[in-house]
Every structure is written in C-alpha cells, then in structure tokens.
Amino acid sequence: MPDKKQDKIPTSKVARASKVFRTSMKVGANYIKHNAQKAVNRNVDENAFDEKNANELFKLMSQLKGSALKIAQMMSMDNGLLPKVYAEKFAQAQNSAMALSGPLVVNTFKKYIGKAPNEIYDSFKVNAVYAASIGQVHEAYKDGKKLAVKLQYPGVAESIHSDINMVKPLFLRFLGIKEKDVREYFEEFEERLTEECDYEKELRHAIQIAKWTEHVPNLIIPKYYKELSAKKILTMEWIDAQPLQQFIDTEKDQRKKNQVGQALLDFLHVSIHQHHEFHADPHPGNFLITKDNKLVVLDFGCVKKIPKDFYIHYFALVKDDVFNDPKKLRICLEHLDMLRKGDSKEVEALFYDTAVKAIRNLSMPMKSDTFYFGDKKFYDQLQSQGEEILNNKEFRKPSAMRGSKHAIYLHRTFFGLYSILYKLNATVNIDRSFIDHIKI
C-alpha cells in the first residue's frame, strides 16, 4: 500500500482552525478542572496541570506538522520561553514521520527541476528514508556517489503565516501575555521559518559557511550540489555517520568526546565572531559523528545574521572592563533593549539584576582559555535561570517583554551549544581573541 499517513494532516485552513479550536477548548477545560481541584485541595501539583495541557498542545502540534511544530520546537529551544514540561514534550517531536506518494515525489521533481528523478540521478529511492517537519529525505546515487536528497512537502511554505497566526493566541494564553508585546518576536519566527522553506537560500548558506569554517579541524560540512537543487529540492553528499545522540550515549572515551565538542564550539565561534552569521539550530538531531570522530553538520535551514551593532554590544558584556563599569554596562543593556529609558525604579532594578545574573552565567565559559562544560552546577544555573524568569509574575507584565529580537536566536544557539557540550561532558579550548576586537 502506498503511504496514507498524509491523509491525517489537515492542510485546509478550516481543518487546521478546527483543530486549534478543539485544543483550546480542552486546555480551557483542564484549567477549570485544575482550579476546581485547587479549591478543594490546596496541594494540587502545578506541574501535573502543565503536563496535561502540554499533552493537548502536543497532540495538536503533531497533527498540524509543518511550521506549527517548528514554532513549538523553537519555543522549547529557548530555555525560559516555555515551562520545562512543554519543552520536553516538544523536543520529542523532532522525528515525526509523514510521507509523500511516489507520484508526488516525481511530480515535484518535474515541477522544479524539469526532469524526473531517475533522469537526473543514476538511481533514486522513491520511498523516503527519513522524514522531518517540513520535508523528507531520499537516497540517491550519481556517478558512484551516494547522495541525500531533501524534498519539501507542498504547501508548507505557504501555510507558515496562517499557522503562526493560529497558534499564536494559544501560546499567548499559556504565557499570559499580550500580542502587541511579543509581535516583534513572532515576526522574527516567521522570517526564519520562511527562510527555512527556501532551499536555494539554504544551499547558499551551507556553501558559504563551509567556506568560512574549512580550516576548523575535525569538522565536515557535506558538499551541496547546486545543479541538482531547486527551491524545494536539495541534493547533498551522503555521509555515513552515527547520530550525535547515539555517540553521546555509547562513546566511553572522553578524549573523543572532547574532540567532537571542540569542533562544535569552533564551528559556531568562527561563524559568530568572524562573520556574525551562524547555524542557529544546534540541536543533536542536526549533527552526525563519523567513525573517526569528526563532526558532521546538517541542515542549514536556520541561519541567523546579526547586525554588527548588536554583536558588539552583546559580546562587549563578556569584557570585564565593560561589565564592571556601570556606565558602559548600561549603554550595552540599553542597546540590547534590556533596559529602557523611562523605566520605573523597581522595574529597572528587576531587569538590571536579572540581566547581570544572566550575563554572568552565559559568559562564564568565555572568561577562561579552557572550560569544562560537564560541570553540573553551571548547567543547572543556566536551566534554572529560565525557570526563574518564568515563575516570576513580574515578567508577565507588558513592560517585561523586552530584549532585542536578534537575541532570541543567539541565545538559542548558545543554549543549544552548551547543552550538547554538557551532554558530551566536554572540556574545550576557547579562542578568546574575538574579545580584543570589540570596542565600545
């Protein structure tokens, strides 16, 4: 039988909307139930309530697929944007399967490249070997080389906007915030997601970043084939390697783990500090490890470019002479939209303290030449920081929605990087030369 899984994915706006509506009803019902329980029994577990809602939301997201799932994952990546229970739920959804019929695969090729897959490759497997949220991966051969061919689901790119608008109210209700306070962030999400659906852009990014980082040892970026790619089709070299998570779970030799961690950190540091443009989606599913312990980077769909001005004021905070100088610190924080002119004293005190604490945590690894990321205390501090912000009611006020939109993806990248390094228990060398180039 051909794959019929796709029948279950509602593409029409009405179908999607009805799904969203049903879920919000259920979440509302859970909320009433929860409050009723609370009235009788004061010790009702808040986590259990969150968990119940996360389950509903998760069910919805996994049915919507595509960009809705991406948004959920994105929010779960930025520690602190969603409570822990939600984050864990969405992280599980990374390998969701759905498949296009063979004829549609052929049709997509004819539409975008003008030829059927067996005309441009020596061989091509119509059944996908791997499925992700916006596309699926096929195996192909050409000139004796094994290739990975990524194919995007039809209609995904077009539904991003309506998807975001549909899940937005749901998220706002969960977090108890107003739309206008977070509009900028959702616009940023939309921009990144739209970009992620443009495979031509991804190809350019991959080739560009590969060139920037070619001197980084133990790093492999697959070769991309421009002539075999189009807006919805991406052909790249197939590299036989094991998933990073599997490597983390099974590898015993700490030296090998350090080597992988070093490659990952160098890869990101070079692109962030030298080019201000980086792979902004470092979750374990995007990396593979070869037999000789080299790091393979996949998926350049989410690449973030940060403005120079933002970069300077952000990383200046790592410098002691800036951090310890209240005047300079204030300039930086205002630039990053953490402090605003006209804030009341209490608001300012709150944000000042939070920002200082966050900077201290995040910049810790950049203060020495080598850093041990397996330190549980350091990792817990990073984690608890987000939870703390989330639990503090002060941060739900309209004035509390702040921080430059560029920071979202930078934080996400650092948080993803540090999480992987923690799991690798890695000790890595930090090239701190970038600090000398920053002057404010």
3-state helix/strand/coil string of the chain? CCCCHHHHCCCCHHHHHHHHHHHHHHHHHHHHHHHHHHHHCCCCCHHHHHHHHHHHHHHHHHHHCHHHHHHHHHHHHCECCECHHHHHHHHHHHHCCCCCCHHHHHHHHHHHCCCCHHHHCCEECCCCCEECCCEEEEEEEECCEEEEEEEECCCHHHHHHHHHHHHHHHHHHHHCCCHHHHHHHHHHHHHHHHHHCCHHHHHHHHHHHHHHCCCCCCEECCCEEHHHCCCCEEEEECCCCEEHHHHHHHCCCHHHHHHHHHHHHHHHHHHHHHHCEEECCCCHHHEEECCCCCEEECCCCCEEECCHHHHHHHHHHHCHHHHCCHHHHHHHHHHCCCCCCCCCHHHHHHHHHHHHHHHHHHHHHHHCCEEECCCHHHHHHHHHHHHHHHHCHHHHCHHHCCCCHHHHHHHHHHHHHHHHHHHHCCEEECCCCHHHHCCC
If one asks whether residue 116 binds other proteins (CB under 8 A), the answer comes out as yes
CB of 16 to other proteins, least distance (A): 13
Among the listed ranges 4-12, 47-55, 169-177, 198-206, the one in contact with other proteins (CB under 8 A) is 4-12
If one asks whether residue 2 binds other proteins (CB under 8 A), the answer comes out as yes
Among the listed ranges 47-55, 86-94, 105-113, 347-355, the one in contact with other proteins (CB under 8 A) is 105-113
Among 102, 243, 285, 374, binds other proteins (CB under 8 A): 102
If one asks whether residue 101 binds other proteins (CB under 8 A), the answer comes out as yes
- Closest to other proteins by CB, 17 or 331: 17
- Closest to other proteins by CB, 152 or 354: 152
If one asks whether residue 194 binds other proteins (CB under 8 A), the answer comes out as no
Among the listed ranges 49-57, 95-103, 318-326, 411-419, the one in contact with other proteins (CB under 8 A) is 95-103
Among 35, 36, 45, 103, binds other proteins (CB under 8 A): 103
CB of 158 to other proteins, least distance (A): 6
If one asks whether residue 106 binds other proteins (CB under 8 A), the answer comes out as yes
Among the listed ranges 82-90, 104-112, 241-249, 362-370, the one in contact with other proteins (CB under 8 A) is 104-112
CB of 141 to other proteins, least distance (A): 15
If one asks whether residue 175 binds other proteins (CB under 8 A), the answer comes out as no
Among 53, 73, 76, 108, binds other proteins (CB under 8 A): 108
Residues at the contact surface with other proteins, assessed by CB under 8 A: 1-2, 4, 6-7, 11, 100-104, 106-108, 110-112, 116, 118, 126, 154-155, 157-158
